[in-house]
Structure 1
Amino acid sequence: MGRALDDLRVGWRQRQLWGHLGWQDIRQRYRRSVLGPIWITISMAVTAVALGILYAGLFGNALEDQLPYILVGFIVWAFISGCIIEGADVFIANEGLIKHLPAPISVHVYRLVWRQSLLFAHNLIVYAVMLLIFPQDLDWSSLLAIPAFVLIALNGAWVALFLGMASARFRDLNPIVGSIVQLTFFLTPIVWIYEDFLNSENPAIAERARWAEINPALHFIEFIRRPMLGQEQVWRHWYVVLAITVIGWLITLWALRRYRARVSYWV
């Protein structure tokens, strides 16, 4: 276990390395592009606006309620899904560096989370524009979005580390993860407002809506979206996220202790 923890500690100390690599990933992806990563922001904004208008009409909600809800949901989901999908490929994609660069394998996970954080920061431009068009009742409690994002990033790190090792050993896991993430998107209240169904006058609909609490992604979306929209905090989302964070890291540390040395052979 000491070596596993050392891998994480030494990898964290090499911030200059993975910070530079993460920034170069974005520059390389959008080389010779005028707008660069802003294209991701534009694409996400167009999709969110289109779905906001569509679902506002379908559910009979006001656009000023539906659109901010979807926009913030998309921003957070982009970070979460990026950590999961790219995390499953994190060691396979860095095969050359793992075999020739004497560095802890956690460096590649930190690089991934840092890259997703930069993209998240770019997407916050849409959030800022949304606040200008649809002002929200933000107060000091909205600053809870900062520790909420830190918790999401911590979970993104253990998910990428765990799935990265598992996918390096079992290559069929990659497409499975992609399919599960796509399915989870539809099961998570990103484009549909969870509380509308929960407070439905139809008892059957309200009862079925409570089953959505089983979905861990609901808690990860809600506990950061609510402060970003100036809504009252629901603390059970925090409790669930904290429990998942602790349990996830314990399992990942156990896997890192047993299989860290084998990653270079698996890739």
Structure 2
Amino acid sequence: MQRQTPEQLRADVARMSAPTDGSAPASQSSTFGAAFADLRKGAGQHELWLQLGWQDIKQRYRRSTLGPLWITVATGVMALALGLLYSMLFQLPLREFLPHVTVGLIIWNFISGCIKDGANVFIENEGLIKQLPSALSVHVYRLVWRQMIFLAHNLVIWVALVLVFRINLGWEVILAIPALVLLAVNGVWVTMLFGIIATRFRDVAPLLEALVQLMFYITPIVWTTHTLKEQGGDVAERAKLAEINPLYHYLEIIRAPMIGQDIAGYHWWIVLGCTVAGLLITTVVMRQWRFRVSYWV
């Protein structure tokens, strides 16, 4: 594909962000209707955020020999290192533990990317927000799309593990598809929510980065709840604390079917409940402060 010049990219952005129905941009009023209209308009401008997302990938790996393959290489090396280390520490079979760590790390990269990058999504797009008549949600969809591209690259590692370890996958693996869709929906509200808050309060972004690092260690990625439960006693009781962490349930609805494990139905209900609650909170935040973002950036 021919690389676009900055002038050509700006021209394409302006063309795709312009209203297609000949009407003026919707009034930025503090109503729920305006908030939903922003989400619908942003979804309708899919050509814009799809192209911008691809442009982000190409710009990030510009003049690189491997290009986007570095995404897969970096994740694969990290998963292998963590899998080997913690399998020896916990005395777990590498055949079972490495897929657990790898898929968990792949999903975690998406979640942490939406949180940390989402906090700066509007700040980094200050120029586009102030100069182009696009919906605010375009920048959110752009970031989530970019994170989905990263996730798709990393899924190559999962395919390799399935082939190497001959993981027995049943029909349950199909459940990973709606789970990924649900993860993307959550990525939208997480990015929008933290993006608006962090644009107003600039200290939120570094705080979120520290919290994400902490959540990595208390989420069963490099450890398993089954290992703790097998030890019995107080250790088994402490394993139940993982149930309080909502990110654990997000991981389970995707990881379990992808590594051939059974999944309890309550994980789905918790994720659906968190999704509905998150969307409601984000809608309220959009209604109240969405139209002020262009003044805060």
Q: Indicate whether the TM-score tops 0.5.
A: yes
Instruction: Name the counterpart of 1:24.
Output: 55
Q: For residues 55 and 179 of structure 1, what CA distance do their matches in structure 2 show?
A: 23
Instruction: Name the counterpart of 2:19.
Output: none
Coordinate RMSD, CA, aligned: 0.8
Report the CA distance between 1:212 and its aligned residue: 1.1
Q: For residues 81 and 288 of structure 2, what CA distance do their matches in structure 1 show?
A: 47
**Matching residue within 116, 139, 154 for 1:108:** 139
Report the CA distance between 1:198 and its aligned residue: 2.3
**Matching residue within 241, 252, 266 for 2:282:** 252
> Which deviates the most, 159-168 or 31-40?
31-40
**Matching residue within 29, 36, 44 for 2:67:** 36
SS at match of 2:260: coil
1:180 aligns to 2:247 (yes or no): no
**Matching residue within 217, 240, 246 for 1:216:** 246
Counterparts in 2 of 1:127-138, with a 5 A limit?
127-138=158-169
Name the amino acid aligned to 1:220.
Y
Name the amino acid aligned to 2:293.
V
Q: For residues 276 and 78 of structure 2, what CA distance do their matches in structure 1 show?
A: 34
Equivalent residues of 1:137, 1:231 under 8 A apart: no
Q: For residues 250 and 166 of structure 2, what CA distance do their matches in structure 1 show?
A: 23
Counterparts in 2 of 1:1-267, with a 5 A limit?
1-200=32-231, 202-267=232-297
Q: Which runs of 5+ in 1 are unaligned?
A: none
Q: Deviation per CA, 1:108-159, whole angstroms, max 9, x where unpaired?
A: 0000000000110000111111111112121111100000011111111101
SS at match of 2:117: helix
Q: For residues 6 and 147 of structure 1, what CA distance do their matches in structure 2 show?
A: 25
Q: Which runs of 5+ in 2 are unaligned?
A: 1-31
Matched residues, percent identical? 54
TM-score by structure 2 length? 0.88
Q: For residues 171 and 165 of structure 1, what CA distance do their matches in structure 2 show?
A: 10
Q: For residues 142 and 233 of structure 1, what CA distance do their matches in structure 2 show?
A: 11
Count, aligned residues: 266
Report the CA distance between 1:162 and its aligned residue: 0.4
Q: For residues 35 and 99 of structure 1, what CA distance do their matches in structure 2 show?
A: 35
Name the amino acid aligned to 2:118.
G
Report the CA distance between 1:49 and its aligned residue: 0.6
Q: For residues 239 and 183 of structure 1, what CA distance do their matches in structure 2 show?
A: 25
Q: For residues 194 and 91 of structure 1, what CA distance do their matches in structure 2 show?
A: 37
Name the amino acid aligned to 1:107.
V
Q: For residues 163 and 175 of structure 1, what CA distance do their matches in structure 2 show?
A: 12
Q: For residues 52 and 14 of structure 1, what CA distance do their matches in structure 2 show?
A: 41
Q: Deviation per CA, 1:5-54, whole angstroms, max 9, x where unpaired?
A: 00000100000000000000000000111211211211111111111111
Q: For residues 87 and 77 of structure 2, what CA distance do their matches in structure 1 show?
A: 15
Greater radius of gyration (CA): 2
Query: Which segments of structure 1 move beyond 4 Å, counting only runs of 4 or more?
Result: none
